[in-house]
Amino acid sequence: MFDTAELDRKVSKEDYAEKAPPLRQELLETQIALTKLNFPVIVLFGGVDGAGKSETINLLHEWLDPRWLVARAYGKPTDEAAQRPPFWRYWRDLPPHGRIGFFLSAWYSDPILNRVHNGTSDAEFDEELDQILNFEKALTDDGVLIVKFWMHLGRDAQKERFQQLEEDPLTSWRVKEKDWENWEKYDDFTEATERAITKTSRGESPWHIVEGADERYRTLSVAGTLLERIRRHKRQMSGSGEPPQAPSPAQSESIRVSDLSYNPSPEVTILSQLDMTLSVPKADYSARLEELQGRLSQLSRQAQDASISTVIAFEGWDAAGKGGAIRRIIPGLDSRLSQVIPIMKPSPEEFSYHYLWRFWRHIPMAGRVTIFDRSWYGRVLVERVEGFATEGEWMRAYAEINDFEAQLVRNRTVVLKFWMNITKEEQGQRFERRKKLPHKQWKLTEEDWRNREQWDAYEAAVNEMIERTSTFRARWTLVEANDKRYARIKVLETVCEGLEKELAKLES
C-alpha cells in the first residue's frame, strides 16, 4: 500500500515557484466561494511522525482565509471529553456549512495507537474502525466533504528525518524518546495503518496517500488534491438535492489529475521506479527454472495436504509475458488439482451478474490452485480506462476487491498478484515481432494497438490500483519483465515463497 509513497518524488525549487502561487490563489478563491455553499469540508491528516502533517496544516492555514477555517489537534481527552463517548469531541468540533476544518489524526489516532501498543485484537480493531466508518458515513450522507491525507515516510526516511531534526538546535526539541520508541515499532504501525486505511477508504471518503519526504512535493500534492476534491464536490452538490454516493465521471481539468489525487510529478509512478534492466543470463536459466519447478511441486503437494488453497492473478501490459509465466508454473502443479482461467470480456450470462460473480465461481476448493490470466482487477484497469465502468463503480471496486481477497485469506488461501511490467519500447518491439511471425500474428489485435495509445492512463490506473489494493493480506508483486527469463524466475520464486510462508504458519 505504501509502495507508491516511497518513490522519492521531489518537486524542484523552480517548479514549485511556478506552480505554487496559482494553486494558492485558486485554493483561496475556492475557499471564499465555499462560504456561500451548504456543505463543510473536513480535511483529516494522518500519517507517520515527521512526514509533515503539522507543517502542511500550518502552511495551508497561511494560504487560506483563517476566518472560515478551524484547525484541531487532539491530545489526551480533557475532563470534559473523557466523561463522554469518544466521538463527542469530534462532533463538537465539526465545521458548519461553508467552513473548512483541519483535523490532525483525530479519530484515527487512538484505534491505531491501541492496536500497536495494547495489541487490540483483529475483531476489536475492526469494530473501532467500523465506528469511524459510521461516523464518516453519517457526515458524507449529509453532504459533508471529507478529504483524508495519509502522510507517509519510509522506515529509513523517518529515521533520517528524526536525525535531521535532532541535529538542529532549533528543532531538536521536537524529537522525543517516544518518537524513537515508535520508530522501533515501525512495522507494527504499518500493519495497523494498512488495515485502517483499507477498511476506511470508501468511495465517499477515500484516503489519499502522500509521500511526505519532500516538502515542496507534499505541499503541492495536498493543496492540489484538496482543490480538486472541493471543486468536484461542488459540482456534485449542485447537480442534485441528495449528495451523491460516488464521484461523477471524471471531467478533464487543466491540471493533471490522477482522477482523484493531484500528483505534482506524474512522470514518477510505482512502475517508473522499477529497474527494467534486470535479467537472468541464458546460461543459468534452465537450471534455475527446473530447480524452482521442483520446489514448487513439493510445496504444492504439502499445501494440498494441509488444505491450503492458492489463487494467483496475472495482470500486465499486452505482450508482457503473462501466458509464458503461467506456462512455467504449470509443471510445478498437479494438473488434476489446478486450473487456469483466462478472463476475457464478460459473456452475456456473466454480464447479468455482479462483476465479481464470475471470479467467485472459480475459487478453488481446499488445497487446490486457480490461476487467473487477467482477473477482477479488470474493473479498475480496462473498465476504468475505457469507461466501461462508471467512476462510482470502479472507485468502490477497491473496497469490494479488498473484501473479496480478505475472505480468501481468512479461508486459508494464498493470494498472489502479479503485475507483469514491460517498457513501452519493449512492447513496441514485441508487437513488431508478432506482426512478422505468422504463428504469432493471431495474438496481436487492433485492441492491443488501441490500448497502447492509452499507456499513460493505464499507468495512472495501475499506480492507483497498487496503492489501494496492495494490502498486508495480499500484496502485489511487480515483475520487471523486459527480460522474459528474469520475469519467469521471479514469478516462480514468489509463488514458492508465498506457499512457504503459509506452510510455516502451520508449524508455529
What is the layout of strands, in order, in the sheet containing 476-480? 338-342, 369-373, 309-316, 413-421, 476-480
Rounded Cα gap, residues 22 and 14, in angstroms: 14
Distances from the Cα of 481 to the Cαs of 271, 274, 350, in angstroms?
12, 10, 32
Q: Which of 117, 185, 410, 433 binds its own copies (CB under 8 A)?
A: 410
C-alpha closest to that of 210 among 152, 268, 273, 148: 152
Q: Burial level of 227, CB count in 10 A (0-12/13-18/19+)?
A: buried
Contact between 68 and its own copies per CB under 8 A: no
Q: Which of 92, 256, 424, 435 binds its own copies (CB under 8 A)?
A: 92
Q: Which of residues 354 and 440 has its CB atom nearest to its own copies in the complex?
A: 354
Q: Which of 185, 361, 424, 440 binds its own copies (CB under 8 A)?
A: 361
Rounded Cα gap, residues 478 and 470, in angstroms: 11
Question: Minimal distance in Å, beta carbon 413 to its own copies?
Answer: 8
Q: Which three cell numbers stand for residue 462?
A: 495501475
Contact between 139 and its own copies per CB under 8 A: yes
Q: Which of residues 158 and 236 has its CB atom nearest to its own copies in the complex?
A: 236
Q: Burial level of 177, CB count in 10 A (0-12/13-18/19+)?
A: exposed
What single string gives the DSSP state of each residue in 363-411?
Answer: PPPTT-EEEEES-GGGGGTHHHHTTSS-HHHHHHHHHHHHHHHHHHHHT
Contact between 246 and its own copies per CB under 8 A: yes
The one segment of 190-198, 260-268, 351-359, 437-445 that binds its own copies by CB under 8 A: 351-359
The one segment of 8-16, 41-49, 360-368, 432-440 that binds its own copies by CB under 8 A: 360-368
How many alpha carbons fall within 13 Å on the CB side of residue 357?
10
435, 444 Cβ separation under 8 angstroms: yes
Q: Which of 91, 180, 449, 455 binds its own copies (CB under 8 A)?
A: 91
Contact between 131 and its own copies per CB under 8 A: yes
Number of shown-chain residues binding its own copies (CB under 8 A): 63
Contact between 363 and its own copies per CB under 8 A: yes
Contact between 411 and its own copies per CB under 8 A: yes
Contact between 130 and its own copies per CB under 8 A: yes
x/- track of binding to its own copies for residues 247-286 (CB under 8 A): ----------------------------------------
Q: Which of residues 154 and 203 has its CB atom nearest to its own copies in the complex?
A: 203
x/- track of binding to its own copies for residues 99-118 (CB under 8 A): --------------------
Question: Minimal distance in Å, beta carbon 187 to its own copies?
Answer: 24
Q: Which of residues 39 and 458 has its CB atom nearest to its own copies in the complex?
A: 39
Phi, psi of 396 (to 5 degrees): -80, -10
Q: For residue 1, which amino acid is it?
A: M
Contact between 354 and its own copies per CB under 8 A: yes
Question: Minimal distance in Å, beta carbon 3 to its own copies?
Answer: 25
What single string gives the DSSP state of each residue in 56-86?
Answer: HHHHHHHHS-GGGEEEEE--SPPHHHHTS-T
Rg (CA), the chain: 24
The neighbouring-strand residues paired with 310 are: 369, 414
Q: Which of residues 158 and 471 has its CB atom nearest to its own copies in the complex?
A: 471
Question: Minimal distance in Å, beta carbon 246 to its own copies?
Answer: 7
Contact between 400 and its own copies per CB under 8 A: yes
The one segment of 17-25, 220-228, 315-323, 405-413 that binds its own copies by CB under 8 A: 405-413
Q: Which of 83, 254, 335, 347 binds its own copies (CB under 8 A)?
A: 83
Q: Which three cell numbers stand for residue 275?
A: 529497474
> CB count, 10 Å around CB of 342?
12
Contact between 454 and its own copies per CB under 8 A: no
The one segment of 129-137, 221-229, 420-428, 495-503 that binds its own copies by CB under 8 A: 129-137
Rounded Cα gap, residues 132 and 90, in angstroms: 11
Question: Minimal distance in Å, beta carbon 63 to its own copies?
Answer: 24
Rounded Cα gap, residues 146 and 295, in angstroms: 49
Q: Which of residues 141 and 187 has its CB atom nearest to its own copies in the complex?
A: 141
Q: Which three cell numbers stand for residue 347?
A: 459473456
C-alpha closest to that of 211 among 140, 278, 151, 136: 151
Which residues of this chain interact with its own copies, rule CB under 8 A? 38, 40, 79-80, 83-88, 91-92, 94, 96-98, 121-124, 126-127, 130-131, 134, 138-139, 141-142, 144, 241-242, 244-246, 307, 309, 349, 352-357, 360-361, 363-367, 390, 392-393, 396, 399-400, 403, 407-408, 410-411, 413
